Amino acid sequence: MPRQVDHVRRRREIVEATLNVLSEAGTRGLSFRAVANEMGGSTTLITHYFPTQRELLDEVTTQVLAGWDDDVKKLDAQEQTPAVRLQALLRWLVPLTEQGLKEERNRIHLLAGQLLGEENRAILQATETKIRELIRNHVTGLVPPDEVERTVELLRITTNGLVLSVLEHPDLWPPERQIAILDWLTDSLGIAPAGAHKPRGHVKAGAVSRS
């Protein structure tokens, strides 16, 4: 009998291989051949599921955003108060781990190559919209309604700036320093968890991050 193929799993494997290629070679190095080589197969393995690169990148976006939703649900389930859930989300948004750094490197590759095609712009727009939605959902209720959008902007600018700083100078931005900046910001905005304020230079242990 012919071997049955788990099509859902195969699509996940193709997406994972695509992300690996993107991380290592950027958008200019992304091709069906490169993804097939990453998987140790032929291009027909890829085109059977994704006839065009646009369809492949659409699936990458769908799976990445779905994974984010799952991650954030797990984070929220671990925390008891809105302020602590926001703290966990902000730490999740910055590259505290190698996996987080890899994911952000992929996003920057797409940003650098966005002029190469509409596909890249669509992915960037979708991911940015999702990030702001996640922040907004966690900020709502912690600040007055008329300050929600301004707070979202500030938190997003800060997390994005931290990402770029880590990518440019990883040795200067270890996880402890990233966490200290985030904790200082939420404390300054009055939305830090109760009792979270620490003396200058102290970093709270046990950071939550993308694993």
pLDDT in tens, 74-133: 988 987 899 999 999 999 999 998 888 888 887 776 666 554 456 667 777 888 899 999
At 137 the pLDDT is 95
Report, at the CATH architecture level, how domain 65-211 is classified: Orthogonal Bundle (1.10)
54-77 confidence digits (pLDDT tens): 888 888 888 888 888 888 899 889
Q: Is the pLDDT of residue 203 over 50?
A: no
Report how far Cα 154 is from the mean position of its chain's Cα atoms. Answer: 18
Hey, where are the domains in the chain?
A: 1-51, 65-211
**What is d(CA 172, CA 111) in angstroms, rounded to the nearest whole number?**
23
24-62 confidence digits (pLDDT tens): 887 788 899 999 999 999 999 999 999 998 888 888 888
6-16 confidence digits (pLDDT tens): 889 999 999 99
For the domain 1-51, what is the CATH code?
1.10.10.60
119-178 confidence digits (pLDDT tens): 667 777 888 899 999 999 999 999 999 999 999 999 999 999 999 999 899 999 999 999
Predicted model pTM: 0.76
**What is d(CA 117, CA 125) in angstroms, rounded to the nearest whole number?**
13
- Which has the closest alpha carbon to 32: 20, 23, 42, 19? 42
